Amino acid sequence: MRFHPRRLPLALAALLTLPLSLSVSTPAAAAPDPARSCQVSPGGFLSEGPTDWRNFPRPAGKVKMAMLFVDFANAPADTSVESELNLFSPVSENWYAASSYGKFDLDILPYKRWLRLPATLNDQALQHPLMRGEDHRPDVVTDDPALASIFRNAVALADPHFDFAETDALLLVPSRRSGYTRGYATFERIQADGNTILAETNLATSRYRDGHILLNHEGGHLLSLPDTYGGPGGFGWTGGWDVMGHMWGPAPDHFAWHKWKLGWLADTQIACLATRGGAIEQTVTPVETEPGTKAVVVRYGASTAYIAEVRQRIGLDTRACDTGVLIYRIDSRTPSGSGPVRVMDAQPNTSCGGLGLNNAPFDLGPGEVATFTDAANRVRIQVVAKSGADYTVRASLG
């Protein structure tokens, strides 16, 4: 703050009343509520609510996903399966090892030959609105038998030569000249070798532009995460944070909320406030590294919560436009692709790297904003101290 002599009387008056107003508006910080108190109600199939793991491969320990390469009579392969495999392995596997702190060990099992599928399956893709760029729905297709049948046909072709007994999910790589231009996920229960494959993704030809991050976005769907992109300008809800939003964004590591939902964060790493009239204060460490408390969660409704986490330019976020305390709201009632996560913008009139939310974090220091308030829901989250990469965050729920 600059020194303004003419404002001194006002400043003095403010100082004199400060202790009184503080004691009225913010209760003393107490011990956090149990983390379970900050769980929200279940939502739809892909939501920010708790995951029903009967429907998704659980990303704990080694998880095997089969990778099948398919071409078509009218779009024969003109690349090698090795070159296609190298787009994703081991980079996508390493990405998950980093984001999960080593808890999720994705093991891609490739069947290294092109499987020839009928031209009709390619023609259906060419006609599909998702592939024609006319459809901006989320890239999860659960209501289209024509697109779904490609997975069943590929498994049937590979089955005599490939063991699906321990395969939890299927990664499909269509030929470069196929009509599958946009990646998507689906959830066909495909029986093979006495096993049920729960989730599948088509790593479409957009992979030549997107690279490994396409698998890490579609893989998020396979693990139950919803799409968080959309909103004003296409990325107006979450900017470049979390791969489920802008997959090419500068800070693609998953939100702490997503890591907790996936089981990569223990309950002991969540500082929860779910009691009206309460306040907590907690030191939070960067989400990109494993130790310490990863988030302050304020659950203010049955389906809604605010989360405050720390982002630094480390790990998967080395390209982050800005650092500090990222605050966002989740609502488990909001469907995938309709904005289930909304990042709160500390700097609403500025942008970074072309997106308004890329410098959304709250912080201490010149030009920074330290306090977020949702008056209607009586939630206040405040950055109170900073030490190295860690921040102390105070939250109150009135």
Contact 366, 261 (CB under 8 A): no
Site string for Zn ion, 86-125 (x = CB under 5 A): ----------------------------------------
Closer residue to Zn ion, CB minimum distance, 139 or 309: 139
Is residue 331 near Zn ion by the rule CB under 5 A? no
β-bridge mates for residue 109, sequence order = 66
Return the H-helix or E-strand segment holding 213.
Answer: helix 213-222
Choices 11-19, 91-99, 138-146, 150-158 (CB under 5 A): range interacting with Zn ion? 138-146
Closer residue to Zn ion, CB minimum distance, 227 or 281: 227
Contact 351, 321 (CB under 8 A): no
Closer residue to Zn ion, CB minimum distance, 84 or 139: 139
Query: In this chain, which of 48, 84, 168, 227 binds Zn ion, going by CB under 5 A?
Result: 227
Contact 179, 126 (CB under 8 A): yes
Residues in the chain: 398
- Give me the torsion for CA of 250, 251, 253, 254, rounded to 10°: -120
Closer residue to Zn ion, CB minimum distance, 139 or 242: 139
Choices 223-231, 274-282, 309-317, 363-371 (CB under 5 A): range interacting with Zn ion? 223-231
Contact 307, 362 (CB under 8 A): no
**Closest alpha carbon to 171 in 263, 162, 243:** 162
As a whole number of angstroms, the distance between CA 289 and CA 312 comes to 10
As a whole number of angstroms, the distance between CA 99 and CA 161 comes to 33
Is residue 242 near Zn ion by the rule CB under 5 A? no
| Shortest Å, Cβ 380 to Zn ion | 33
As a whole number of angstroms, the distance between CA 35 and CA 268 comes to 7
Site string for Zn ion, 270-299 (x = CB under 5 A): ------------------------------
Is residue 139 near Zn ion by the rule CB under 5 A? yes
* Token pair in block for residue 226: 């919803």
Size of the site for Zn ion (CB under 5 A): 2
Q: Is 60 exposed, middle or buried (0-12, 13-18, 19+ CB in 10 A)?
A: middle
Choices 86-94, 225-233, 342-350, 356-364 (CB under 5 A): range interacting with Zn ion? 225-233
Closer residue to Zn ion, CB minimum distance, 19 or 133: 133
| Shortest Å, Cβ 230 to Zn ion | 10
| Shortest Å, Cβ 271 to Zn ion | 30
Contact 355, 319 (CB under 8 A): no
Would you call 112 helix, strand, or coil by DSSP? strand
| Shortest Å, Cβ 183 to Zn ion | 8
Residues that bind Zn ion (CB under 5 A): 139, 227
